C-alpha cells in the first residue's frame, strides 16, 4: 500500500534521512522506533509532503504521491502530528470540521456523529476551546480530527508522548480499533515496548538509517533492541 | 448634542473598525503588522474617486468597484511581497521590510499619478444632513455606520460559521497542521489578503467622504486602525472592532471637549497606557497551549 524507496532528506547540510526504504501493507500497523533525532518525524513529514525529500520515491496505492500536502490528504493519507497540534483557540467541533475540510457538510455531519460515539468526552465539550482539554483528550481529538478526513493511511507521530500510562493504554486500544476499521497505521514511537507490542511490523531508525526490521515480536526479543530501547 | 456626538463617534469608530479588521486579519494569519495597508487605502480611495468622477455612479457601485480593486491590490501585494517569505518560513523581520517597501511603492504610484495636491471627494448624497426632531445628523455618518456594520457582521459570520472561515482560523493558529488537514494554505492566505484589501478600500473611500478631501496622505489614518488593534488585542477580529468603536467614540468626544489639536495626544496616551497595563489588549487570548 505504502512503499518508500531509498528516501533521503536533509535540512541544510544536516542529513535527516539516508536511503530509507519501508513498506506497509493494507490493514497493518507498522511502527518505526528510534531515539530522539533519529529521523522518525522527518520520515513522516516527507510522506505527508511537509518536507521535500532530496532523493527517493514514495508510492501510495501504486502511484507516486502528489507534491502538495493538501493534495496528499486528498489521496487518503492523514498525518496526526507530534504534540497533537490541535487548534487551541478553535472549538472542539471546529477542530473536527477542519479535519473534514475536504468533505461536504453532509459527509462531515455523519462522520462527526461517528466520532462523537467513539469519543463521548468530545461530544460533551464540543463548544469548548480545544486548548481547555487535557493532554490525553487532546490526543484523542487529534486522532478524531484525523479520522474526519476518511483516511486510508494514518501517520501517527508519538501518540503516547507526555501521557500517563493509563491514558497511553487507551490511546493504544484506539489505534487497534482504527486498524480494525481497515485503516493502515504508520506509528512512530519512542515508547518502543508499547509500539512493538501492537504492531505487525517494525523498523528501527538510527541516525537517519534503518538498521533493523522485523515483526514486532522479533524486535521485542532482539538483543540489540532490548539494550538500546527497552532498557536492558 | 450627546446623541449627535455618539452617532458621529460610532460612525468614525466603524470606519476605524474596517481598517483595524483588515489589519488584524493579516496579523493573525501571518503574524506581522502590514504597513502597506495605509497606502492600499489611499490607492483604493483614489480608485473610488476616479470611478465616481469618470462615471457619475452612485455610492454603492463605486464602493463595490473600489473594494474589488482593493482586494486585487491585496492579492498582488501578497504575491509580490510576501509569498516567498512565507514559503521560506523566513523571520518576521522580512515581512516588516517588505510591507514598508510595498507601502512606499503604492504611495509613489499615487504621487506620480495625482501629484501632491488635494481633491474634493464627490458628495454622494443629495442631502448632506438629516434632521431628526432637534438633531442634525450628517447623512454620510449614518450611511458609513450602516454599511460598515453590515460588512463587519458578514465578516464575522464568514469567519465563524463557514468552511472558508474555519480554514482561515486554522491557518492562523498553525499553518503546517492546517496543511496536514488538506487546507490549501496559500489559497487561504490569498483569500485573507483579498478580504483585507477590500476592507481597506471600503475604509479608504469612507475616509475620503468623511473628510471631504482626498490627498496622498490619507493612508496615514491607518494608525487609527493600529491603535484600535492594540487596544482590542492584536490579531483578534472582535477585539479590533471593539477597540475601534471605543477609539472612535473617545476621539469624537475628546475633539468636542479639548479640540482637535490635543485629542490625538490623549488617544496616544491611552494606547501607551494600554500597552503598560494590558499589552494583550481587551480581547487578549487567555487559552494557553498544553504540552
Task: Report pLDDT digits (tens) over A115-173.
Answer: 999 999 999 999 999 999 999 999 999 999 999 999 999 999 999 999 999 999 999 99
Q: How far apart are the first and last CA of chain A?
A: 34
How many residue pairs bridge chain A and chain B with CB atoms within 8 Å of each other?
80
Domain contains B261: no
| Mean pLDDT of the region B147-153 | 97
Q: How close A218 gets to chain B, by Cα (Å)?
A: 33
Rounded to whole angstroms, the Cα distance separating B196 from B67 reads: 10
Which chain B residues contact residue A74 at CB under 8 A? 182
How many CB atoms within 10 Å of residue A123?
15
| Mean pLDDT of the region B139-159 | 95
The residues facing B126 across adjacent strands are none
pLDDT digit string, tens, across residues A12-66: 889 999 999 999 999 999 999 998 889 999 999 999 999 999 999 999 999 999 9
Find the closest chain B residue to A144 by CA distance: B181
Q: Is the pLDDT of residue B290 over 70?
A: no
B181–A contact, CB cutoff 8 A: yes
Q: Is the pLDDT of residue A7 over 50?
A: yes
Q: How far is CA B249 from CA B4, B152, B191, B256, B263, in A?
A: 11, 18, 31, 11, 12
Rounded to whole angstroms, the Cα distance separating B45 from B221 reads: 12
Q: How far is CA A181 from CA A137, A151, B253, in A?
A: 21, 11, 65
How many CB atoms within 10 Å of residue B57?
17
Which chain B residues contact residue A68 at CB under 8 A? 184
Cβ–Cβ under 8 Å, residues B231 and B271: yes
Domain contains B7: yes
Domain contains B259: no
* Mean pLDDT (chain A, rounded): 94
Cβ–Cβ under 8 Å, residues B250 and B199: no
| Mean pLDDT of the region B164-187 | 96
Burial class (CB in 10 A: 0-12, 13-18, 19+), A12: exposed
B87–A contact, CB cutoff 8 A: no
* Mutation target among B172, B181, B183, B187 for the A interface, most CBs of A within 10 A: B181
Find the closest chain B residue to A78 by CA distance: B180
Q: Coil, helix or strand for A136?
A: helix
Cell, residue B31: 503574524
Domain contains B98: yes
* Domains held by chain B: number: 1
Which chain B residues contact residue A133 at CB under 8 A? 290
Rounded to whole angstroms, the Cα distance separating B175 from A98 reads: 12
Q: What integer pLDDT is reported at residue A32 of this predicted model?
A: 95
Domain contains B284: no
Residue with cell 455531519: A109
Domain contains B235: no
Is A87 within 8 Å of B285 when comparing Cβ atoms?
no
Q: Determine which of B24-28, B54-58, B227-231 has the lowest per-residue pLDDT on average.
A: B227-231
Which of A50, A85, A88 faces B287 most closely, judged by CB atoms? A88
pTM of the model: 0.92
The CATH number for A2-229, chosen from 3.60.20.10, 3.40.50.300, 3.40.1360.10, 3.40.50.880, is 3.40.50.300
Rounded to whole angstroms, the Cα distance separating B73 from B40 reads: 7
Which chain A residues contact residue B183 at CB under 8 A? 70, 98, 101
Interface of A with B in 169-228 (CB under 8 A): none
A48–B contact, CB cutoff 8 A: yes
Cell, residue A194: 508499547
Residue B4: closest CA among B134, B132, B137? B137
Q: How far is CA A160 from CA A55, A99, A137, A153, A163, in A?
A: 31, 21, 12, 19, 6
B234–A contact, CB cutoff 8 A: no
Give A128's contacts (C-beta < 8 A, 6+ positions apart): A91, A92
How many CB atoms within 10 Å of residue B24?
31
Interface of A with B in 135-164 (CB under 8 A): 135, 138, 145, 149, 162
How many CB atoms within 10 Å of residue B125?
16
Q: Coil, helix or strand for A8?
A: strand
- Parse chain A into domains and list their residue ranges: 2-229
Q: Is the pLDDT of residue B193 over 90?
A: yes
Rounded to whole angstroms, the Cα distance separating A115 from A121 reads: 10
Cβ–Cβ under 8 Å, residues B181 and A73: yes
B154–A contact, CB cutoff 8 A: no
Residue B46: closest CA among B181, B174, B218, B179? B218
* Mutation target among B177, B187, B235 for the A interface, most CBs of A within 10 A: B177
Q: Domain containing B46: what range?
A: 2-123+130-219
Amino acid at each position: 500500500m505504502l512503499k518508500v524507496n531509498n528516501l533521503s532528506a536533509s535540512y541544510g547540510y544536516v542529513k535527516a534521512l539516508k536511503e530509507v526504504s519501508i513498506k506497509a501493507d493494507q490493514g497493518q500497523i507498522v511502527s518505526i522506533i528510534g531515539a530522539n533525532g533519529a529521523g522518525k518525524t522527518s520520515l513522516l513529514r516527507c510522506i505527508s509532503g511537509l518536507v521535500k525529500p532530496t532523493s527517493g520515491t514514495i508510492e501510495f496505492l501504486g502511484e507516486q504521491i502528489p507534491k502538495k500536502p493538501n493534495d496528499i490528504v486528498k489521496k487518503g493519507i492523514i498525518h496526526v502530528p507530534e504534540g497533537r497540534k490541535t487548534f487551541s483557540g478553535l472549538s472542539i467541533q471546529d477542530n473536527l470540521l477542519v479535519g473534514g475540510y475536504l468533505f461536504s457538510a453532509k459527509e462531515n455531519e455523519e462522520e462527526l456523529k461517528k466520532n462523537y460515539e467513539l469519543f463521548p468526552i468530545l461530544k460533551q465539550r464540543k463548544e469548548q476551546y480545544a486548548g481547555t482539554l487535557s493532554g490525553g483528550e487532546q490526543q484523542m481529538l487529534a486522532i478524531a480530527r484525523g479520522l474526519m478526513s476518511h483516511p486510508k493511511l494514518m501517520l501517527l507521530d508519538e501518540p503516547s508522548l507526555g501521557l500517563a500510562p493509563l491514558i497511553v493504554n487507551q490511546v493504544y486500544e484506539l489505534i487497534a480499533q482504527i486498524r480494525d476499521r481497515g485503516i493502515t497505521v504508520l506509528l512512530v514511537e519512542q515508547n518502543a515496548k508499547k509500539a512493538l507490542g501492537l504492531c505487525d511490523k517494525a523498523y528501527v531508525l538510527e541516525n537517519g538509517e534503518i538498521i533493523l526490521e522485523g515483526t514486532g515480536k522479533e524486535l521485542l526479543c532482539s538483543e540489540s533492541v532490548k539494550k538500546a530501547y527497552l532498557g536492558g | 448634542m450627546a446623541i449627535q456626538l455618539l452617532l458621529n463617534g460610532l460612525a468614525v469608530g466603524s470606519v476605524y473598525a474596517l481598517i483595524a479588521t483588515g489589519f488584524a486579519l493579516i496579523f493573525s494569519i501571518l503574524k506581522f503588522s502590514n504597513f502597506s495597508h495605509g497606502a492600499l487605502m489611499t490607492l483604493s480611495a483614489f480608485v473610488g474617486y476616479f470611478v465616481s468622477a469618470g462615471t457619475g455612479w452612485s455610492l454603492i457601485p463605486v464602493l463595490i468597484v473600489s473594494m474589488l480593486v482593493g482586494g486585487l491590490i491585496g492579492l498582488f501585494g501578497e504575491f509580490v511581497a510576501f509569498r516567498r517569505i512565507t514559503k521560506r518560513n523566513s523571520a518576521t523581520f522580512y515581512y516588516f521590510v517588505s510591507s514598508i517597501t510595498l507601502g512606499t511603492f503604492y504611495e509613489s504610484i499615487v504621487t506620480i499619478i495625482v501629484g501632491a495636491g488635494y481633491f474634493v471627494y464627490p458628495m454622494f448624497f443629495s442631502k448632506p444632513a438629516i434632521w431628526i426632531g432637534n438633531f442634525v445628523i450628517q447623512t454620510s455618518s449614518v450611511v458609513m455606520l450602516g454599511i460598515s456594520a453590515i460588512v463587519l457582521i458578514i465578516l464575522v459570520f464568514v469567519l465563524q460559521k463557514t468552511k472558508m472561515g474555519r480554514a482561515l482560523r486554522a491557518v492562523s493558529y498553525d499553518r503546517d497542521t492546517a496543511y496536514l488537514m488538506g487546507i490549501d494554505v496559500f489559497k487561504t492566505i490569498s483569500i485573507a489578503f483579498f478580504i483585507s484589501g477590500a476592507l481597506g478600500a471600503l475604509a479608504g473611500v469612507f475616509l475620503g467622504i468623511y473628510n471631504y478631501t482626498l490627498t496622498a496622505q490619507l493612508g496615514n489614518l491607518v494608525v487609527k486602525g493600529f491603535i484600535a488593534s492594540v487596544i482590542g488585542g492584536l490579531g483578534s477580529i472582535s477585539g479590533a472592532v471593539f477597540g475601534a468603536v471605543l477609539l472612535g467614540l473617545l476621539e469624537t468626544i475628546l475633539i468636542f471637549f479639548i479640540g482637535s489639536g490635543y485629542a490625538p495626544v490623549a488617544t496616544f496616551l491611552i494606547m501607551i497606557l494600554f500597552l503598560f497595563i494590558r499589552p494583550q489588549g481587551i480581547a487578549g487570548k487567555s487559552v494557553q497551549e498544553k504540552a
